[in-house]
């Protein structure tokens, strides 16, 4: 194409990202080139940037992406929902490219654990096509990526965190089988916690209890369906457990969702469950997240623990559908509280790390 684009590149953990320019790739059959209009900063981006999570360098971080199609490779005509695609369409896409043919893809239904997995914002950008992350002007999509055309009614800032924050919560919701009228404990009032509260409210849960240590986040989550909030800062585990039981008729929550990425919350969440309760662990997506619990408690109280990492195409489609169905009820536009240009990406990362807003949007 003879053209180039800019990207913010991480060369080492705990250092500022550098603006670099790369040539735009020729678009191969089954691929597409997208001009990025918005990418929000996810917690896993911060984990990589701060060194909590190991990733190859150089790398273009960012995977919560929305953009417009610049060029379609031969054979690309439809999105994953059989909607026709054309140049100029606004799309979002799965965090990963999977082969669809390996043991995990074909036999186990775990596309996100594909033996040949490629992940946007997680792989090296050293070799062409270079544009494999969201903190850039362009992204190059390869054939195993599932694409969803974005409804016109949704803004970029509403859609971007759906991939992966909302889609991951939807996947966890399906995995742990949350039911109407159940009492849910949500640990963490970041983006995942906010979306979990909205889903719980939308689907008719009774008590939607959200625990966090930041008052401003707990105030936000109330607008997304939380019936009760607990600021756990300075509280003992027994005090938190007591409050959850008081709110659930003395029994404890039916379901607990750990979404904060703080290992000690997992054993605390288990203690907050009723007998026969279920817990899903999503937040601790980095190595070394150790915790201790009494295994006999799991046995005697018949508890269930599930772990989830990422999501599949169906969950991203459900996430977009949910946003469209519930946007008049919940203020999804509030989730992005700050916006930065690509040139100010390092400022954006520091704002995101501070926790003062739920999501920061990078607008190239």
Polymer length of the chain: 364
Q: Work out the average pLDDT over 187-215.
A: 98
* pLDDT at res. 57: 97
Nearest to 282 by CA among 176, 160, 207: 176
Q: Work out the average pLDDT over 193-197.
A: 98
Nearest to 59 by CA among 78, 44, 75: 44
CATH code, 345 = 3.90.180.10
* pLDDT at res. 2: 62
Q: What is the pLDDT of residues 73-84, one digit of tens each?
A: 999 999 999 999
Claim to verify: residue 12 and residue 113 sit in the same structural domain: yes
Percentage of the chain surpassing pLDDT 90?
98
| Domain endpoint, select from 288, 307, 326 | 307
For 185, half-sphere exposure in the C-beta direction (CA atoms, 13 angstrom radius) is 36
Q: Work out the average pLDDT over 144-159.
A: 97
Claim to verify: residue 245 and residue 333 sit in the same structural domain: no
User: What residues make up the domain containing 68?
Assistant: 4-164+311-362
* pLDDT at res. 270: 98
Alpha-carbon gap, residue 104 to 111, rounded angstroms: 6
Claim to verify: residue 315 and residue 242 sit in the same structural domain: no
Question: What rounded mean pLDDT belongs to the chain?
Answer: 97
Residue 281: pLDDT over 50: yes
Residues 6+ apart with CB under 8 A from 348: 41, 338, 340, 360, 362
- In degrees to the nearest 10, what's the CA dihedral of 74, 75, 79, 81? 170
Q: What is the pLDDT of residues 35-71, one digit of tens each?
A: 999 999 999 999 999 999 999 999 999 999 999 999 9
* pLDDT at res. 173: 94
Claim to verify: residue 321 and residue 298 sit in the same structural domain: no
Claim to verify: residue 69 and residue 191 sit in the same structural domain: no
Asked if residues 285 and 262 have their Cβ atoms less than 8 Å apart, the reply is no
Residue 100: pLDDT over 70: yes
Claim to verify: residue 146 and residue 196 sit in the same structural domain: no
Q: How confident is the model at residue 98 (pLDDT cuts 50, 70, 90)?
A: very high
Q: Work out the average pLDDT over 279-293.
A: 95
- Give the count of domains, the chain: 2
The secondary element (H helix, E strand) that includes residue 231 is strand 228-231
Asked if residues 98 and 111 have their Cβ atoms less than 8 Å apart, the reply is yes
Q: Work out the average pLDDT over 225-240.
A: 98
CATH code, 176 = 3.40.50.720
Q: Work out the average pLDDT over 125-153.
A: 98
| Domain endpoint, select from 268, 289, 307 | 307
> If phi over 0 gives left and psi between -120 and 50 gives alpha, with beta otherwise, what is residue 317?
alpha
Alpha-carbon gap, residue 95 to 63, rounded angstroms: 6
Claim to verify: residue 351 and residue 281 sit in the same structural domain: no
Residue 275: pLDDT over 60: yes
Claim to verify: residue 119 and residue 245 sit in the same structural domain: no
Claim to verify: residue 182 and residue 156 sit in the same structural domain: no
| Domain endpoint, select from 267, 282, 307 | 307
Residue 1: pLDDT over 50: no
* pLDDT at res. 324: 97
Alpha-carbon gap, residue 314 to 322, rounded angstroms: 12
Claim to verify: residue 29 and residue 174 sit in the same structural domain: no
Claim to verify: residue 199 and residue 327 sit in the same structural domain: no
H helices of 177-214, in order, are 191-202
Claim to verify: residue 139 and residue 216 sit in the same structural domain: no
Strand, coil or helix: what is 228? Answer: strand
Q: How confident is the model at residue 16 (pLDDT cuts 50, 70, 90)?
A: very high
């Amino acid at each position: 194409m003879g053209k180039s684009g800019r990207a913010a590149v991480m060369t080492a953990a705990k250092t500022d990202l550098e603006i670099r320019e790369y040539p735009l790739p020729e678009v191969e059959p089954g691929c597409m080139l997208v001009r990025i209009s918005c990418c929000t900063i996810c917690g896993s981006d911060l984990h990589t940037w701060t060194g909590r999570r190991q990733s190859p360098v150089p790398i273009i971080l960012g995977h919560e992406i929305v953009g417009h199609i610049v060029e379609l490779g031969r054979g690309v005509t439809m999105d994953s929902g059989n909607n026709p695609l054309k140049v100029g369409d606004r799309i979002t896409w799965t965090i990963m490219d999977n082969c669809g043919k390996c043991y995990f893809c074909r036999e186990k239904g775990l596309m996100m654990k594909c033996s040949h997995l490629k992940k946007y914002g997680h792989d090296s950008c050293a070799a062409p096509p270079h544009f494999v992350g969201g903190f850039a002007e362009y992204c190059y999509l390869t054939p195993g990526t599932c694409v969803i055309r974005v409804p016109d009614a949704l803004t970029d800032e509403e859609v971007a965190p759906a991939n992966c924050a909302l889609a991951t919560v939807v996947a966890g919701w399906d995995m742990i089988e949350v039911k109407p009228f159940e009492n849910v404990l949500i640990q963490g009032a970041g983006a995942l916690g906010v979306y979990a509260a909205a889903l719980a409210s939308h689907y008719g849960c009774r008590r939607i209890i959200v625990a966090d240590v930041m008052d401003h986040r707990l105030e936000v989550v109330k607008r997304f369906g939380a019936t009760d909030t607990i600021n756990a800062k300075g509280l003992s585990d027994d005090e938190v457990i007591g409050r959850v039981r008081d709110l659930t008729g003395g029994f404890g929550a039916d379901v607990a969702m750990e979404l904060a990425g703080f290992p000690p919350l997992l054993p605390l969440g288990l203690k907050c469950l009723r007998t026969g309760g279920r817990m899903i662990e999503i937040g601790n997506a980095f190595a070394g997240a150790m915790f201790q619990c009494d295994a006999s408690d799991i046995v005697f109280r018949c508890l269930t623990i599930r772990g989830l990492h990422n999501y599949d195409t169906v969950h991203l489609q459900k996430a977009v559908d949910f946003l469209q169905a519930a946007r008049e009820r919940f203020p999804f536009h509030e989730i992005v509280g700050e916006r930065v240009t690509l040139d100010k990406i390092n400022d954006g990362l520091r704002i995101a790390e501070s926790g003062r807003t739920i999501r920061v949007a990078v607008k190239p």
